[in-house]
Protein backbone atom coordinates (compact mmCIF):
# COMPACT_ATOMS: atom_id res chain seq x y z
CA UNK A 1 0.00 0.00 0.00
CA UNK A 2 1.20 3.50 -0.74
CA UNK A 3 2.39 5.77 2.04
CA UNK A 4 -0.37 7.68 3.81
CA UNK A 5 -0.76 11.26 2.65
CA UNK A 6 -1.56 12.23 6.23
CA UNK A 7 -0.49 10.39 9.32
CA UNK A 8 -1.67 11.36 12.78
CA UNK A 9 -0.24 9.78 15.93
CA UNK A 10 -1.28 10.27 19.53
CA UNK A 11 -2.92 13.60 18.73
CA UNK A 12 -4.28 15.21 21.87
CA UNK A 13 -5.87 18.58 22.44
CA UNK A 14 -7.04 19.93 25.76
CA UNK A 15 -8.47 23.43 25.50
CA UNK A 16 -7.59 25.85 28.24
CA UNK A 17 -10.32 25.59 30.88
CA UNK A 18 -12.05 23.25 28.47
CA UNK A 19 -12.53 19.60 27.78
CA UNK A 20 -10.11 17.15 26.24
CA UNK A 21 -11.32 17.62 22.67
CA UNK A 22 -8.92 15.04 21.18
CA UNK A 23 -7.65 12.07 23.11
CA UNK A 24 -4.68 10.32 21.56
CA UNK A 25 -6.03 10.08 18.03
CA UNK A 26 -4.24 7.86 15.51
CA UNK A 27 -5.34 8.12 11.89
CA UNK A 28 -3.83 7.45 8.47
CA UNK A 29 -5.33 8.90 5.32
CA UNK A 30 -4.62 7.19 2.00
CA UNK A 31 -3.81 9.20 -1.09
CA UNK A 32 -6.81 9.70 -3.36
CA UNK A 33 -9.49 8.53 -0.97
CA UNK A 34 -12.61 10.21 0.34
CA UNK A 35 -12.60 9.76 4.09
CA UNK A 36 -15.69 10.67 6.07
CA UNK A 37 -15.34 11.53 9.72
CA UNK A 38 -18.63 10.97 11.50
CA UNK A 39 -19.43 11.98 15.02
CA UNK A 40 -22.01 13.72 17.16
CA UNK A 41 -21.73 17.41 18.16
CA UNK A 42 -18.63 18.16 20.14
CA UNK A 43 -16.92 14.91 19.15
CA UNK A 44 -13.73 16.71 18.14
CA UNK A 45 -14.06 16.80 14.35
CA UNK A 46 -13.43 20.51 13.92
CA UNK A 47 -10.57 20.38 16.41
CA UNK A 48 -8.95 17.57 14.44
CA UNK A 49 -9.19 19.52 11.20
CA UNK A 50 -7.97 22.66 12.94
CA UNK A 51 -4.91 20.84 14.26
CA UNK A 52 -3.92 19.70 10.76
CA UNK A 53 -4.62 23.11 9.23
CA UNK A 54 -2.69 25.04 11.84
CA UNK A 55 -5.70 26.69 13.48
CA UNK A 56 -5.50 24.70 16.70
CA UNK A 57 -2.25 24.05 18.57
CA UNK A 58 -2.15 20.39 19.66
CA UNK A 59 -1.31 19.55 23.26
CA UNK A 60 0.50 16.41 22.15
CA UNK A 61 1.13 13.99 19.32
CA UNK A 62 2.47 14.29 15.80
CA UNK A 63 1.00 15.12 12.41
CA UNK A 64 2.87 14.12 9.26
CA UNK A 65 1.57 15.36 5.92
CA UNK A 66 3.25 14.47 2.61
CA UNK A 67 6.00 12.86 4.64
CA UNK A 68 6.77 16.12 6.49
CA UNK A 69 6.39 16.68 10.20
CA UNK A 70 3.96 19.60 10.40
CA UNK A 71 5.44 20.95 13.59
CA UNK A 72 8.77 21.43 11.79
CA UNK A 73 7.95 22.42 8.26
CA UNK A 74 4.44 23.69 8.55
CA UNK A 75 4.23 26.23 5.76
CA UNK A 76 5.43 23.98 2.97
CA UNK A 77 2.99 21.22 3.82
CA UNK A 78 0.16 23.63 4.63
CA UNK A 79 0.39 25.05 1.09
CA UNK A 80 -0.71 21.64 -0.19
CA UNK A 81 -3.71 21.44 2.14
CA UNK A 82 -7.07 23.11 1.49
CA UNK A 83 -9.79 23.81 4.02
CA UNK A 84 -13.46 24.49 3.47
CA UNK A 85 -14.52 25.66 6.93
CA UNK A 86 -18.04 25.63 8.33
CA UNK A 87 -18.26 29.38 8.48
CA UNK A 88 -17.24 32.04 6.04
CA UNK A 89 -14.40 33.96 7.65
CA UNK A 90 -13.87 36.33 4.79
CA UNK A 91 -14.56 39.98 4.19
CA UNK A 92 -18.23 40.21 3.31
CA UNK A 93 -17.65 43.42 1.35
CA UNK A 94 -15.07 41.76 -0.87
CA UNK A 95 -16.09 40.61 -4.34
CA UNK A 96 -16.06 36.90 -5.12
CA UNK A 97 -13.19 37.39 -7.57
CA UNK A 98 -10.96 39.28 -5.15
CA UNK A 99 -11.64 36.83 -2.35
CA UNK A 100 -10.54 33.81 -4.32
CA UNK A 101 -7.61 35.64 -5.95
CA UNK A 102 -6.43 36.42 -2.41
CA UNK A 103 -6.69 32.77 -1.44
CA UNK A 104 -4.67 31.79 -4.50
CA UNK A 105 -1.80 34.00 -3.38
CA UNK A 106 -2.05 33.07 0.29
CA UNK A 107 0.24 30.06 0.01
CA UNK A 108 2.59 31.44 -2.57
CA UNK A 109 0.81 30.53 -5.81
CA UNK A 110 1.28 33.06 -8.60
CA UNK A 111 -1.84 34.98 -9.67
CA UNK A 112 -3.45 32.84 -12.37
CA UNK A 113 -6.70 34.37 -13.67
CA UNK A 114 -7.33 31.50 -16.10
CA UNK A 115 -7.30 29.00 -13.25
CA UNK A 116 -9.55 31.24 -11.14
CA UNK A 117 -12.00 31.48 -14.01
CA UNK A 118 -12.00 27.71 -14.36
CA UNK A 119 -12.75 27.26 -10.66
CA UNK A 120 -15.54 29.84 -10.67
CA UNK A 121 -17.13 28.32 -13.76
CA UNK A 122 -16.95 24.80 -12.35
CA UNK A 123 -18.83 25.99 -9.26
CA UNK A 124 -21.39 28.01 -11.27
CA UNK A 125 -20.06 31.19 -9.68
CA UNK A 126 -18.79 32.91 -12.81
CA UNK A 127 -21.85 35.17 -13.07
CA UNK A 128 -21.26 36.24 -9.49
CA UNK A 129 -17.58 37.04 -9.78
CA UNK A 130 -18.12 40.77 -9.30
CA UNK A 131 -20.79 40.43 -6.63
CA UNK A 132 -20.01 41.27 -3.03
CA UNK A 133 -20.00 38.14 -0.93
CA UNK A 134 -22.57 39.56 1.51
CA UNK A 135 -25.08 39.78 -1.35
CA UNK A 136 -24.94 36.06 -2.09
CA UNK A 137 -27.37 33.42 -0.90
CA UNK A 138 -26.22 30.96 1.76
CA UNK A 139 -25.66 28.23 -0.83
CA UNK A 140 -23.61 30.55 -3.04
CA UNK A 141 -21.52 31.60 -0.04
CA UNK A 142 -20.71 27.94 0.53
CA UNK A 143 -19.55 27.67 -3.06
CA UNK A 144 -17.27 30.66 -2.47
CA UNK A 145 -15.75 28.77 0.46
CA UNK A 146 -15.02 25.84 -1.81
CA UNK A 147 -13.61 28.12 -4.54
CA UNK A 148 -11.30 29.74 -1.98
CA UNK A 149 -10.08 26.35 -0.81
CA UNK A 150 -9.43 25.20 -4.39
CA UNK A 151 -7.67 28.38 -5.48
CA UNK A 152 -4.26 27.23 -4.32
CA UNK A 153 -4.74 23.74 -5.81
CA UNK A 154 -4.56 21.64 -2.67
CA UNK A 155 -3.75 17.95 -2.88
CA UNK A 156 -5.46 17.27 0.43
CA UNK A 157 -8.79 18.97 1.04
CA UNK A 158 -10.77 19.18 4.27
CA UNK A 159 -14.46 19.87 4.06
CA UNK A 160 -16.00 20.64 7.45
CA UNK A 161 -19.73 19.97 7.15
CA UNK A 162 -19.78 20.99 3.50
CA UNK A 163 -23.51 20.71 3.06
CA UNK A 164 -24.86 21.71 6.48
CA UNK A 165 -28.02 23.70 5.96
CA UNK A 166 -28.06 23.60 2.17
CA UNK A 167 -31.04 22.33 0.23
CA UNK A 168 -31.17 18.86 -1.26
CA UNK A 169 -30.47 20.04 -4.79
CA UNK A 170 -27.36 21.98 -3.85
CA UNK A 171 -26.21 19.09 -1.69
CA UNK A 172 -26.35 16.73 -4.68
CA UNK A 173 -24.54 19.34 -6.73
CA UNK A 174 -21.79 19.58 -4.14
CA UNK A 175 -21.45 15.82 -4.03
CA UNK A 176 -20.77 15.94 -7.76
CA UNK A 177 -18.17 18.65 -7.25
CA UNK A 178 -16.48 16.57 -4.57
CA UNK A 179 -16.55 13.47 -6.79
CA UNK A 180 -14.96 15.52 -9.60
CA UNK A 181 -12.16 16.60 -7.25
CA UNK A 182 -11.50 13.01 -6.33
CA UNK A 183 -11.31 12.18 -10.06
CA UNK A 184 -8.59 14.78 -10.32
CA UNK A 185 -6.64 13.00 -7.62
CA UNK A 186 -7.45 15.24 -4.66
CA UNK A 187 -7.61 13.41 -1.33
CA UNK A 188 -10.68 14.45 0.62
CA UNK A 189 -11.55 14.36 4.29
CA UNK A 190 -15.06 15.45 5.10
CA UNK A 191 -16.95 15.74 8.31
CA UNK A 192 -20.65 15.43 8.17
CA UNK A 193 -23.80 15.04 10.18
CA UNK A 194 -25.56 13.66 7.14
CA UNK A 195 -24.78 10.01 7.23
CA UNK A 196 -26.35 9.71 3.81
CA UNK A 197 -23.48 11.88 2.63
CA UNK A 198 -20.88 9.46 3.97
CA UNK A 199 -22.83 6.55 2.56
CA UNK A 200 -22.93 8.16 -0.86
CA UNK A 201 -19.42 9.52 -1.07
CA UNK A 202 -16.93 7.92 1.26
CA UNK A 203 -14.43 5.17 0.57
CA UNK A 204 -13.68 4.88 4.27
CA UNK A 205 -15.44 6.05 7.37
CA UNK A 206 -14.09 6.97 10.78
CA UNK A 207 -16.35 7.31 13.79
CA UNK A 208 -15.26 9.73 16.49
CA UNK A 209 -16.81 10.47 19.86
CA UNK A 210 -15.53 12.23 22.93
CA UNK A 211 -12.24 12.94 21.15
CA UNK A 212 -11.55 9.27 20.49
CA UNK A 213 -11.69 7.39 17.22
CA UNK A 214 -14.01 4.46 17.88
CA UNK A 215 -13.65 2.77 14.53
CA UNK A 216 -12.14 3.23 11.08
CA UNK A 217 -13.03 0.98 8.20
CA UNK A 218 -13.89 0.71 4.54
CA UNK A 219 -17.46 1.90 4.27
CA UNK A 220 -18.59 -1.28 2.54
CA UNK A 221 -16.86 -3.50 5.07
CA UNK A 222 -18.39 -1.54 7.92
CA UNK A 223 -21.86 -1.89 6.47
CA UNK A 224 -21.32 -5.56 5.79
CA UNK A 225 -19.82 -6.30 9.17
CA UNK A 226 -22.13 -4.29 11.39
CA UNK A 227 -25.25 -4.22 9.29
CA UNK A 228 -28.39 -6.23 9.75
CA UNK A 229 -30.82 -7.55 7.19
CA UNK A 230 -34.56 -7.60 7.51
CA UNK A 231 -36.78 -9.56 5.13
CA UNK A 232 -40.56 -9.70 5.03
CA UNK A 233 -41.93 -12.74 3.24
CA UNK A 234 -45.64 -12.62 2.44
CA UNK A 235 -47.14 -16.09 2.41
CA UNK A 236 -49.78 -17.53 0.10
CA UNK A 237 -51.56 -19.18 3.06
CA UNK A 238 -51.35 -18.40 6.77
CA UNK A 239 -49.08 -20.29 9.16
CA UNK A 240 -50.13 -20.96 12.74
CA UNK A 241 -46.60 -21.62 13.98
CA UNK A 242 -43.03 -21.70 12.71
CA UNK A 243 -42.71 -25.02 10.87
CA UNK A 244 -39.85 -27.32 11.95
CA UNK A 245 -38.21 -26.85 8.53
CA UNK A 246 -37.50 -23.24 9.52
CA UNK A 247 -36.13 -23.98 12.96
CA UNK A 248 -32.76 -22.34 13.31
CA UNK A 249 -33.66 -19.30 11.20
CA UNK A 250 -34.24 -16.03 13.06
CA UNK A 251 -37.83 -15.65 11.91
CA UNK A 252 -41.13 -14.76 13.50
CA UNK A 253 -44.68 -14.78 12.29
CA UNK A 254 -46.53 -11.53 11.63
CA UNK A 255 -49.71 -10.14 10.05
CA UNK A 256 -52.03 -12.89 11.39
CA UNK A 257 -49.82 -15.66 10.07
CA UNK A 258 -49.55 -14.18 6.57
CA UNK A 259 -45.97 -12.99 6.94
CA UNK A 260 -42.65 -14.41 7.96
CA UNK A 261 -40.30 -11.75 9.26
CA UNK A 262 -36.58 -12.43 9.19
CA UNK A 263 -34.08 -10.34 11.16
CA UNK A 264 -30.52 -11.52 10.98
CA UNK A 265 -26.96 -11.04 9.99
CA UNK A 266 -26.51 -9.13 13.25
CA UNK A 267 -23.07 -7.75 13.26
CA UNK A 268 -21.67 -10.55 11.14
CA UNK A 269 -23.01 -9.76 7.69
CA UNK A 270 -24.29 -12.66 5.65
CA UNK A 271 -27.94 -11.73 6.20
CA UNK A 272 -28.80 -11.84 2.53
CA UNK A 273 -27.20 -15.25 2.08
CA UNK A 274 -29.24 -16.55 4.99
CA UNK A 275 -32.44 -15.14 3.45
CA UNK A 276 -31.60 -17.08 0.28
CA UNK A 277 -31.27 -20.26 2.37
CA UNK A 278 -34.55 -19.44 4.07
CA UNK A 279 -36.41 -19.19 0.75
CA UNK A 280 -34.90 -22.51 -0.32
CA UNK A 281 -36.08 -24.06 2.94
CA UNK A 282 -39.58 -22.67 2.27
CA UNK A 283 -39.63 -24.19 -1.19
CA UNK A 284 -38.43 -27.55 0.11
CA UNK A 285 -41.16 -27.49 2.77
CA UNK A 286 -43.79 -26.59 0.14
CA UNK A 287 -44.62 -23.29 1.77
CA UNK A 288 -45.65 -20.89 -1.01
CA UNK A 289 -45.01 -17.15 -0.76
CA UNK A 290 -46.12 -14.26 -2.91
CA UNK A 291 -43.53 -11.61 -2.19
CA UNK A 292 -40.19 -10.98 -0.54
CA UNK A 293 -39.04 -7.56 0.67
CA UNK A 294 -35.45 -7.36 1.81
CA UNK A 295 -33.80 -4.40 3.48
CA UNK A 296 -30.24 -3.92 4.72
CA UNK A 297 -29.55 -1.49 7.52
CA UNK A 298 -27.97 1.77 6.49
CA UNK A 299 -24.81 3.36 7.76
CA UNK A 300 -27.14 5.55 9.81
CA UNK A 301 -28.60 2.56 11.63
CA UNK A 302 -25.09 1.32 12.28
CA UNK A 303 -23.88 4.71 13.48
CA UNK A 304 -26.79 5.25 15.83
CA UNK A 305 -26.50 1.68 17.12
CA UNK A 306 -22.77 2.02 17.69
CA UNK A 307 -23.01 5.32 19.55
CA UNK A 308 -25.90 4.00 21.64
CA UNK A 309 -23.89 0.95 22.56
CA UNK A 310 -20.87 2.97 23.61
CA UNK A 311 -23.14 5.26 25.58
CA UNK A 312 -24.49 2.28 27.50
CA UNK A 313 -21.03 0.81 28.05
N1 LIG B 1 -11.82 27.17 21.40
C2 LIG B 1 -12.32 26.30 22.28
N3 LIG B 1 -12.18 26.48 23.62
C4 LIG B 1 -12.68 25.57 24.50
N5 LIG B 1 -13.33 24.45 24.14
C6 LIG B 1 -13.50 24.22 22.83
C7 LIG B 1 -13.02 25.13 21.82
N8 LIG B 1 -13.35 24.62 20.59
C9 LIG B 1 -14.00 23.45 20.82
N10 LIG B 1 -14.11 23.22 22.15
C11 LIG B 1 -14.72 22.02 22.77
O12 LIG B 1 -14.03 20.88 22.33
C13 LIG B 1 -14.92 19.80 22.05
C14 LIG B 1 -14.80 19.36 20.60
O15 LIG B 1 -15.33 20.39 19.78
P16 LIG B 1 -15.29 20.33 18.19
O17 LIG B 1 -15.77 21.66 17.68
O18 LIG B 1 -13.98 19.85 17.74
O19 LIG B 1 -16.39 19.19 17.89
P20 LIG B 1 -17.12 18.82 16.54
O21 LIG B 1 -17.09 17.34 16.48
O22 LIG B 1 -16.54 19.58 15.42
O23 LIG B 1 -18.59 19.32 16.85
P24 LIG B 1 -19.73 19.87 15.84
O25 LIG B 1 -20.22 18.68 15.11
O26 LIG B 1 -20.73 20.40 16.82
O27 LIG B 1 -19.10 20.91 14.99
C28 LIG B 1 -16.29 20.32 22.44
O29 LIG B 1 -16.55 19.90 23.75
C30 LIG B 1 -16.16 21.82 22.36
O31 LIG B 1 -17.04 22.45 23.24
Q: Establish whether residue 44 lines the binding site of ligand 1, counting it when its CB lies within 6 angstroms of any ligand atom.
A: yes
- Predicted confidence (pLDDT) at residue 160 exceeds the cutoff of 70: yes
Determine the average pLDDT of the residues in 195-203.
84
Q: Establish whether residue 21 lines the binding site of ligand 1, counting it when its CB lies within 6 angstroms of any ligand atom.
A: yes
The answer on 204 and 138 residing in a single domain is: yes
The answer on 236 and 197 residing in a single domain is: no
Q: How far apart are CA 110 and CA 108, in angstroms?
A: 6
Band the pLDDT of 313: cuts 50, 70, 90: very low
> What pLDDT sits at residue 310?
53
> What pLDDT sits at residue 63?
95
* 234, containing H or E segment: strand 229-235
Q: Establish whether residue 45 lines the binding site of ligand 1, counting it when its CB lies within 6 angstroms of any ligand atom.
A: yes
- Looking from the CA of residue 46, the nearest atom of ligand 1 is 22
Residue from 12, 22, 38, 43 to probe ligand 1 pocket by mutation (most atoms less than 8 Å from CB): 43
> What pLDDT sits at residue 89?
66
The answer on 168 and 108 residing in a single domain is: yes
Give the count of domains, the chain: 2
Q: Which carries the bigger pLDDT value, residue 239 or residue 28?
A: 28
Residue from 47, 159, 163 to probe ligand 1 pocket by mutation (most atoms less than 8 Å from CB): 47
- Predicted confidence (pLDDT) at residue 155 exceeds the cutoff of 70: yes
Least confident stretch, 50-54, 113-117, 153-157, 227-231: 227-231
The answer on 174 and 239 residing in a single domain is: no
Q: Which of 194, 223, 252 is the last residue of a domain?
A: 223
Q: Which residues contact 82 (CB under 8 A, 6 or more apart)?
A: 149, 150, 152, 154, 156, 157, 158
Q: How far is the CA of 46 from the centre of ligand 1 (A)?
A: 7
Residue 214 lies in a domain: yes
Q: Which of 195, 223, 251 is the last residue of a domain?
A: 223
SS3 259: strand
Of the spans 51-65, 162-176, 286-300, which averages the highest pLDDT?
A: 51-65
> What pLDDT sits at residue 203?
93
Share of the chain above pLDDT 90, in %: 31
- Predicted confidence (pLDDT) at residue 233 exceeds the cutoff of 60: yes
Band the pLDDT of 21: cuts 50, 70, 90: very high
State which residues form the domain around 183. Answer: 6-223
Strands of 156-160's sheet, edge to edge? 81-84, 156-160, 187-192, 34-38, 204-209, 212-218
- Looking from the CA of residue 44, the nearest atom of ligand 1 is 18
Computed over every residue of the chain, the mean pLDDT equals 85
pLDDT digits (tens, 9 = 90+) for 48-91: 999 998 889 999 999 999 998 988 877 888 889 988 888 766 67
Q: Establish whether residue 55 lines the binding site of ligand 1, counting it when its CB lies within 6 angstroms of any ligand atom.
A: no
Domain CATH for 246: 3.30.70
> What pLDDT sits at residue 172?
82
Q: How far is the CA of 209 from the centre of ligand 1 (A)?
A: 11
Q: Establish whether residue 250 lines the binding site of ligand 1, counting it when its CB lies within 6 angstroms of any ligand atom.
A: no
Q: Which of 223, 248, 281 is the last residue of a domain?
A: 223
The answer on 41 and 117 residing in a single domain is: yes
Determine the average pLDDT of the residues in 99-128.
87
The answer on 167 and 119 residing in a single domain is: yes
Amino acid sequence: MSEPILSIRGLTKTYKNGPRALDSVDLDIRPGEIFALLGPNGAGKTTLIGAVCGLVRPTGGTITAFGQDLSRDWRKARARIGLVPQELATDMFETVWRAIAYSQGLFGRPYDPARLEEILRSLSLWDKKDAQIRALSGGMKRRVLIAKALAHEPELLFLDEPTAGVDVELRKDMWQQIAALKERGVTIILTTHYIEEAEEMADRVGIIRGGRILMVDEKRAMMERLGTTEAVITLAAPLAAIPPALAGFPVEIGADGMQLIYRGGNGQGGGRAQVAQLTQALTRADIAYTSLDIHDSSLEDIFVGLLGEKEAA
